Amino acid sequence: MKIFDYDWSLIWDYRGVLLGGLWVAVQVSVVALVISAVIGLLLAVLRLSRPPISWIATAYINVFRGVPALVSVVWVYFGLAFLLGINFSVFQAGVIALSLLYSAFLAEIFRSALGAVPPGHREAGQALGLRGSRIFFSVILPQAVKVALPNIGSMYIGMLKDTSTFTIIGLLEVVRVTQNLVSTTFQPFVFYTAAALIYVLAAFVIDMIFRFIESAYTRPPHGRLLAAVRRRQRRKISELVEEMGG
Amino acid sequence: MSAAAVGTHAVADTDRAVLIRIRGLRKSFGTQEVLCGIDLDICAGEHVVIVGPSGSGKSTLLRSINLLEKPTAGSLRVNGVEYGPGLPGEPPQRRGSPLALRRTVGMVFQQFNLFPHLTALGNVALSLRSVRNMKASEARVKAAESLRSVGLLQRAAYYPAELSGGQQQRVAIARALALDPSVMLFDEPTSALDPELVGEVLRTMRQVAESGMTMVVVTHEMGFARDVGDLNVFMEDGAIVETGARGFFDNPTSARAKEFIRAVRR
């Protein structure tokens, strides 16, 4: 079979199906990212606490960082569902499987990010009489999130790619729809190339989105879009200053 | 008792109320004792300057006053409320909470410690909102007033990264002053600054002093100490070696204090 025997126009014909697969993958991974971020932050805080509380977090992190996504989803979809007597949908099973793994990874990212905030800022908060929770949410966390963002971005690319393993439970993500198309068109090279391109392009877009969020978290904010936000904030404050007679 | 009594400092009965009373205060890190029994009385409106070589425990003493360091033993009374573990054999019946103490004690750090993700105004307003429970609009006005008092109202919208070190430290002073503390602690407030920026911070501190604020200052700025210090404390090896009233730095008694002051004056 020569290169011109491949029917590349098939990709365009089936673009809706392929992008539909991407959309499913994005939905599963975004829901899992939100859950992982919350649980990961909690685990990071637990890991930074005193033993024996920190041991629980350490154990969780070390176990679930080591489990491959494929094993995780089979274990959730067949094992955990049987154990709990609940029938998970493939979507739910995918979200749970990803969240179990990536909350462990994000916990480590948050732990190092929380550690990167200078201890003097906590002390300044304490000296001002702020409560511990207020110091955490208003002083430490905003700074830690900024440090963690680039790593969360790379993690998310990994999460999106790991949804490809959920083809085994029949989730209609990119690889699953690719397989379906191959079985009817007999053009595996064409469709797997398309699948690869979709993942690569998605990774580009995710990177761009996270860069944008990162620049939004930079103080003073960078970028043209945020300069407008900045100007509004400045105007509001200078109005106040003028009101007070400079 | 002479003003330069060695070892302890006890204030003679004056008409001024004792705001902070420290007795037998000790602090250890592991086996190392950093404060070995400090006695000190600080009156309302008094300006206390603490000097001494590095490692003498002066910063630890200052940080004990708002419980950033928890004393191992001894008594710390602020406004008549006991916050320390108490003297041996007489544990206090009631102890105030660190949170309550810190809400009446302002502190300025060597490294400024402004919150980099908030504007100058946001830095000052944060504690007004959550400690004083002010509404956002109310807190902004009060914060702006506080910034004006340190001459930085025009920089209200700037982030710490856009301010010079001296300006950052003045914002930090405004942040602490906004909560109307009954005492302000300064932990080497000019030591991290470029020499040309020291002056503006010291000017702001002089203004704070002139307003009648009770101040405890750890510093190496001898000019400031000489002009502002009502009570001067020389520390070494975790103990107060000598204390003196105004003019102390021109005429210390102990040999160690003489040597130290000669060295830093150079």
Judge whether B179 and B106 are in contact, CB under 8 Å.
yes
Query: A237 vs B66: CB contact, 8 Å cut-off?
Result: no
What percentage of chain A has pLDDT greater than the value 90?
Answer: 55
Task: Say yes or no for a CB contact (<8 Å) between A129 and B102.
Answer: yes
B103, A124: Cβ pair inside 8 Å? no
3-state secondary structure (DSSP) of residue A23 = helix
Q: With 0-12 CB in 10 A as exposed, 13-18 as middle and 19+ as buried, what is B145?
A: middle
Closest residue in chain B to residue A236, using alpha carbons only: B157
Whether residue B216 lies within 8 A of chain A, CB to CB, comes out as no
The per-residue pLDDT for B260 is: 87
Q: How far is A53 from chain B (nearest CA, A)?
A: 24
In a 13 Å sphere around the CA of B179, the CA atoms on its Cβ side amount to: 33
Q: Is the pLDDT of residue A124 over 90?
A: yes
- For A84-91, what is the mean pLDDT? 87
Across A218-230, average pLDDT: 76
Look at B113 and A121 and tell me if their CB atoms are within 8 Å.
yes
Interface contact B113-A238, CB threshold 8 A? no
Cβ-contact A98, A69 below 8 angstroms? yes
> pLDDT band at residue A221, thresholds of 50, 70 and 90?
confident
In chain A, residues with a C-beta closer than 8 Å to the C-beta of B98 are: 126
**Do A129 and B99 lie within an 8 Å CB cutoff?**
yes
Contact of A118 with chain B, judged by CB distance below 8 Å, is answered with yes
CA A158, chain centre distance (Å): 8
CA distance B243 to B157: 43
In order of A136, A214, B74, B116, B195, the CA distances from B44 in angstroms are 33, 48, 21, 33, 31
8 Å CB contact between B227 and B248: no
Q: In sequence order, what DSSP letters do the residues of A104-123 get, joined into one string?
A: HHHHHHHHHHHHTS-HHHHH
Look at residue B266 in the predicted model and tell me its pLDDT: 60
Tokens of A70: 């494929």
Q: Chain centroid to CA B90: how far? A: 28
Beta bridge partners of B50: B218, B233
Q: Using 50, 70 and 90 to split pLDDT, how confident is the model at A1?
A: low
Nearest CA to B49 out of B261, B195, B266 is that of: B261
Inter-residue contact B93 to B48 (CB < 8 Å)? no
Mean pLDDT for chain A overall:
89
CA–CA separation, A235 and A89 (whole Å):
51
Strand B214-218 relative to strand B183-187: parallel, antiparallel, unpaired?
A: parallel
Distance from CA of B128 to the nearest CA of A (A): 9
Question: What is the pLDDT averaged over residues A49-61?
Answer: 91
Closest partner CB to A233 (pick from B115, B130, B157): B157
Give the mutation candidate from B59, B60, B130 for the A interface (greatest A CB count, under 10 A): B130
Cis upstream peptide for A150 (omega within 30°):
no
Q: Mean of the pLDDT values across residues A22-43?
A: 95
The span from the CA of B221 to the CA of B199, in Å, is 10
Closest CA to B150 of B123, B125, B169, B126: B169
Q: Alpha-carbon distance A89 to A28, whole Å? A: 12
Highest averaged pLDDT of the listed ranges A78-92, A110-124, A220-234: A110-124
Q: Which pLDDT value is given to residue B8?
A: 44
- What pLDDT shows up at residue B211? 92
Query: Which range among A56-65, A102-111, B2-11 shows the weakest confidence by mean pLDDT?
Result: B2-11
Inter-chain Cβ pairs, chain A and chain B, closer than 8 A = 91
Residue type, A29: S
Q: Does A138 touch chain B (CB under 8 A)?
A: yes
Q: Does A246 contact B154 at a Cβ distance shorter than 8 Å?
A: yes
Q: What percent of chain A has pLDDT over 70?
A: 98
User: What is the CA angle B93-B94-B99, rounded to 5?
Assistant: 160
- Write the residue in A129, A143, A244 that is nearest to B117 by C-beta: A143
CA distance B43 to B77: 12
CB-closest option in B68, B114, B161 to A126: B68
pLDDT, one tens digit for every residue, chain B (266 residues): 344 444 444 444 455 688 999 999 999 998 899 999 999 999 999 999 999 988 899 999 999 999 999 999 999 999 888 998 888 777 778 888 999 999 999 999 999 999 999 999 999 999 999 988 899 889 999 999 999 999 999 898 899 999 999 999 999 999 999 999 999 999 999 999 898 999 999 999 999 999 999 999 999 888 898 889 999 999 999 999 988 888 888 888 888 888 888 888 76
B59 is written with which tokens? 């910063």
CA of A217: which chain B residue's CA is closest?
B117
Burial of B76 (0-12, 13-18, 19+ CB in 10 A): buried
- Pick A12-221's CATH classification: 3.90.1300.10, 3.40.30.10, 1.10.3720.10, 1.10.10.10: 1.10.3720.10
Phi, psi of B42 (to 5 degrees): -125, 125
Q: Give dist(CA A147, CA A113) in Å, integer.
A: 6
Query: What is the token pair recorded at A110?
Result: 């948050």
Q: Which pLDDT does position A245 carry in this prediction?
A: 67
Q: Cβ distance A219 to B117 under 8 Å?
A: yes
For an interface test with A, the pick among B70, B109, B113 (most A C-beta atoms closer than 10 Å) comes out as B113
A237 touches chain B (CB under 8 A): yes
Is A35 part of the contact surface with chain B (CB cutoff 8 Å)? no
Please indicate if any CB of chain B lies within 8 Å of the CB of A218. no
A106, A40 Cβ separation under 8 angstroms:
yes
pLDDT at position B16, please? 67
Per-residue pLDDT at A187:
86
- Substitution target from B69, B123, B127, B187 for chain A, most A beta carbons within 10 A: B127
For A191, the token pair is 């469709």
Chain B, 7-36: which have a CB under 8 Å from a chain A CB? none
Q: What is the pTM of this model?
A: 0.85
CA A50 to chain CA mean position, Å? 28
Instruction: Indicate yes or no: CB of A128 within 8 angstroms of CB of B157.
Output: no
Rounded to 5 degrees, φ, ψ at B87 are -75, 155
H, E, C per residue of chain B: CCCCCECCCCCCCCCCCEEEEEEEEEEEECCEEEEEEEEEEEECCCEEEEECCCCCCHHHHHHHHCCCCCCCEEEEEECCEECCCEECCECCCCCCCHHHHHCCEEEECCCCCCCCCCCHHHHHHHHHHHHCCCCHHHHHHHHHHHHHHCCCHHHCCCCHHHCCHHHHHHHHHHHHHCCCCCEEEEECCCCCCCHHHHHHHHHHHHHHHHCCCEEEEECCCHHHHHHHCCEEEEEECCEEEEEECCCHHHCCCCHHHHHHHHHHHC
Domain locations in chain A as residue ranges:
12-221
Nearest-angstrom CA–CA distance, B145 and A221 = 26
Give me the residue from B130, B144, B161 closest to A219, CB to CB: B161
Question: Between residues B93 and A2, which one has the greater pLDDT?
Answer: B93
CA distance A163 to A22: 10
Q: How far is B4 from chain A (nearest CA, A)?
A: 32
Confidence of residue A23 (pLDDT cuts 50, 70, 90): very high
Interface residue B144 vs chain A (CB under 8 A): yes
Residue A4 structure tokens: 């011109």
Q: What is the pLDDT of residue B254?
A: 87
* pLDDT number for residue B9: 46
Contact A103, A155 (CB under 8 A): no
Please tell me if residue B81 touches chain A, with a CB cutoff of 8 Å.
Answer: no
| Residue A79 DSSP class | I
